[in-house]
Amino acid sequence: MLLTWSTAQCGVPQLARPSNGRSLRPFEPGDHRCRWKLDEVDEEIPEWMSAMVRTQLPAAQRVGGGLCEDQRWEPAASVKLNMVLTRIGLAGLAVMGQNLALNIAEKGFPISVYNRTTSKVDETVERAKLEGNLPVYGFHEPEAFINSIQKPRVVIMLVKAGAPVDQTITTLSAHMEVGDCIIDGGNEWYENTERREKAMAELGLLYLGMGVSGGEEGARNGPSLMPGGSYEAYKNIEDILLKVAAQVPDSGPCVTYIGKGGSGNFVKMIHNGIEYGDMQLIAEAYDVLRSVGKLTNEELQQVFSEWNKGELLSFLIEITADIFGVKDDNGDGYLVDKVLDKTGMKGTGKWTVQQAAELSVAAPTIAASLDSRFLSELKEERVAAAKVFQSCVFEGEPVDKKKLIDDVRQALYASKICSYAQGMNLIRAKSIEKGWDLKLGELARIWKGGCIIRAIFLDRIKKAYDRNPELSSLLVDPEFAKEIQDRQSAWRRVVCLAINSGISTPGMSASLAYFDTYRRESVPANLVQAQRDYFGAHTYERIDIPGAFHTEWFKIAKQSKI
């Protein structure tokens, strides 16, 4: 097959390595095929090929009809046309989708993109052109989009969880063949992923649920990736993921095959739950330093910047320091002080707490962070309550700022250990229940870069699980146990100071209560169990005699009163 094209503008075409991205527009409304002069004979080329050809050959000659966009058409020499397909496709071009597509293209993998709202396609292709003539090809129709990808086809979806995912799968799978693969890169409920994997298997299609962490910046420059589901599907795109993921010098690409079924989405969900806890703990540290220590934003920026040089070094501490330094463009003072104190959420924190209840795994720090978001939404009620309780003002003793800052640092670190311990215990419990055989140390490794909770602290967690893969809790790892013991006095001082000052620290308080409960050989659950047996005959166990027992508590108590 020969194509007439112009050497004047293009030089020698390298269709295997497209130089830029352009979306194909039809000559007339509804016309999705272009006609080209091939071997001196009119032949039709499908839209997907036309899109690729036109990006390389802007001056190609078309037989009959008007011109595409503002291109001019010239006679030229004939060359061989290789029908080259893209390596992968991506559907869903909101900011995360656009950025991930550009990341993939920048790593040398030509990519086809599609979105139901076609303006997003054109916007993505234009960005690809502006950001280095990246090999991104836009399609307005799902069939053309699918047919532009090499077999076995791989398509990543980045659309809103729930029904939109099912709708997108229905649209795309109608044009796919046995052995093709769909990857859901959104925050999805893991059981939905497992349901879809089974449904796709019946069609002969492979399915992966892949957690993507890192936000807009991570998607563009290197996220942490958590793919779970079909191992065959993972191997089909492993080469892409290894290059696209964040790269950490001492531990490699931040991606690994998580496991079967919905494990990838489940791990991402717990990652987000840990993120909730981290953010809440940092907010409480800020509140104590500001409300009790009376630190200014300038001082807070200095404190958090200093913390980011030591054991608390992390993405969240880094951006917190940045936030304190941003002035308000619309008025005096700092922008953080003008931000409304109502925290939004997208549901993954709630899912994490629901799973904690389902698995009977204590996650009080994460639960407290979720409750705090619920309470933050009650802005109007809180304003009214503040007027009712105006007399509840606590004037504490003057504090030593330097001492307070160090105490809060230690309290934050100790609380952080508890929050991560809870998240890891949730993952371990679900892994046992589902038979996923998840490697907790490997999860800590891929979270070291790209993702929102990336921190130097994660290297310590990886080493803890490397030392003992069956570790029951991070709290009892020898190194972490010593660190908590060394910091517990400061931790208790901060929580007590906050309570006495009328400042709520639900995350730090929950973490401390978690630690104090976990470290005690005996807790008052004996009384609770006796109460259950009293009113519901639920029985109880004894510490000295094996078996289940029931006591007629009411009858005995009544007799003793006579």
| Catalytic machinery residues | 268, 275
Residue type, 41: V
Q: What is the CA radius of gyration of the chain?
A: 29
Give residue for tokens 């993405």.
315
Residue type, 356: A
Burial 408-425 (b: 16+ CB within 10 A, else e): bbbbbbbbbbbbbbbbbb
Q: Write out the two tokens for 322.
A: 């940045």
| H/E element, 91 | strand 88-91
Q: Write out the two tokens for 233.
A: 């599907």
CA distance 149 to 133: 19
In the chain the first and final C-alpha atoms are separated, in Å, by 106
| H/E element, 96 | helix 95-106
CA distance 507 to 321: 20
Q: What is the dihedral of CA 217, 224, 454, 276, to 10 degrees?
A: 90
CA distance 75 to 310: 66
Residue type, 432: I
Task: Give the orientation angle of helix 190-202 with respect to helix 263-291, to 10 degrees.
Answer: 160
Nearest Cα neighbor of 86 from 169, 10, 145 is 145
Which residue stretches of 174-230 are H helix? Answer: 190-202, 215-221
CA distance 79 to 81: 6
Give strand pairing partners of 447: none
| H/E element, 253 | strand 252-253
Give residue for tokens 């004894």.
542
Query: Do residues 37 and 63 touch, judged by C-beta distance below 8 A?
Result: yes
Task: Give the orientation angle of helix 263-291 with respect to helix 401-434, to 10 degrees.
Answer: 160
Q: Are strands 540-541 and 548-549 parallel, antiparallel or unpaired?
A: antiparallel
Task: Give the orientation angle of helix 478-500 with respect to helix 506-519, to 10 degrees.
Answer: 130
DSSP string, 258-295: -BSTTHHHHHHHHHHHHHHHHHHHHHHHHHHHHHTS--
CA distance 81 to 16: 10
Q: Write out the two tokens for 295.
A: 């630190």
* CA distances to 116, 136, 461 from 124, in Å: 13, 8, 39
